[in-house]
């Protein structure tokens, strides 16, 4: 990604306990770091309108919202929430069981495609956030993730760089190059690679973050979203700040300060 820098957001899942205790205060800490936006995963007792009002006061946007895979009436509910939070990217994930066999992958892809087609009709891009199992499982000598993307042509990807590398023992930059037209959201997660996942702020782990960023299509990517592996011994806010500084100082993403 070599032309204009993309804005930087933060996935809020690792901060769920802090948000549950002090929603507005925790978001204020994130805004003060310089993050442009946040990606919600639950609103911690707040309505979408309340969450939008708080982020608005803090100058934060919502870059995406992580939701359960919607079906039926939940599709309309997710659409309404996206409208209130003012974002274009509802995101869901699979389970390990979804990637257990060719049959389960086909069933998952069909559900994802139905949701993606629904959101496409309303101008939104529905994206799959991967974990390690989509790249640890293979279907006909291909990663389950690749089979899902092939069978769900309207589906976009929020590629989690660390889980891609950890699950498939593969190069996330290569995966991005192959699917770059379908990756509008990058989950930039770093860490130590090995049998046990290891926490590290972005830029201090084993992933080549600069190469990953270069592989992305600047005409397609809309948000660079920091995500963090959880570690009970790490301060997640401190790690978020270190990740922000690395990406902005190295000229890989654009912040507010």
Domain annotation covers residue 255: no
Q: What is the span of the domain harbouring residue 231?
A: 8-249
Q: What is the pLDDT of residue 1?
A: 53
User: Could you read off the pLDDT of 120-150 as tens digits, one per residue?
Assistant: 999 999 999 999 999 998 888 899 999 999 9
Q: Is residue 254 part of a domain?
A: no
In a domain, 257, yes or no: no
Whether residue 113 is contained in a domain is answered as yes
Residue 36 in any domain: the answer is: yes
Distance CA 41, CA 68 (A): 9
Least confident among 37-41, 69-73, 168-172: 168-172
- Categorize the per-residue pLDDT at 257 as very low, low, confident or very high, splitting at 50, 70 and 90: low
Q: What is the mean pLDDT of residues 153-157?
A: 98
- Does 147 reside within a domain? yes
Q: What is the pLDDT, as a whole number, of residue 167?
A: 84
Instruction: For 96-119, write each residue's pLDDT tens digit.
Output: 999 999 999 999 999 999 999 999
* CATH assignment of the domain containing 126: 3.20.20.150
In a domain, 72, yes or no: yes
pLDDT at 212 over 70: yes
Residue 1 lies in a domain: no
Question: Quick one: pLDDT at residue 87?
Answer: 98
Domain count, the chain: 1
């Amino acid at each position: 990604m070599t032309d204009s820098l993309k804005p930087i957001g933060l996935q809020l899942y690792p901060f769920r306990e802090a948000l549950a205790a002090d929603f507005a205060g925790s978001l204020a800490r994130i805004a003060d770091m310089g993050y442009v936006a946040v990606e919600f995963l639950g609103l911690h007792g707040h309505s979408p309108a309340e969450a939008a009002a708080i982020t608005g006061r803090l100058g934060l946007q919502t870059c995406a919202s992580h939701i359960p895979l919607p079906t039926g009436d939940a599709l309309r509910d997710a659409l309404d929430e996206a409208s209130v939070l003012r974002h274009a990217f509802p995101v869901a994930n699979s389970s390990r069981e979804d990637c257990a066999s060719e049959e389960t992958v086909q069933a998952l892809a069909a559900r994802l495609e139905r949701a993606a087609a629904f959101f496409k009709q309303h101008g939104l891009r529905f994206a799959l956030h991967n974990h390690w199992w989509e790249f640890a499982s293979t279907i006909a000598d291909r990663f389950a993730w690749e089979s899902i993307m092939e069978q769900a042509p309207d589906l976009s990807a929020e590629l989690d760089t660390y889980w891609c590398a950890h699950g498939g023992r593969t190069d996330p930059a290569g995966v991005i190059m192959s699917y770059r037209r379908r990756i509008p959201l990058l989950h930039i997660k770093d860490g130590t690679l090995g049998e046990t996942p290891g926490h590290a702020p972005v830029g201090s782990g084993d992933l080549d973050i600069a190469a990953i960023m270069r592989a992305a299509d600047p005409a397609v990517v809309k948000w660079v979203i920091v995500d963090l592996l959880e570690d009970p011994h790490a301060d997640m806010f401190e790690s978020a700040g270190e990740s922000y500084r690395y990406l902005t100082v190295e000229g890989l993403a654009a912040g507010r300060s």
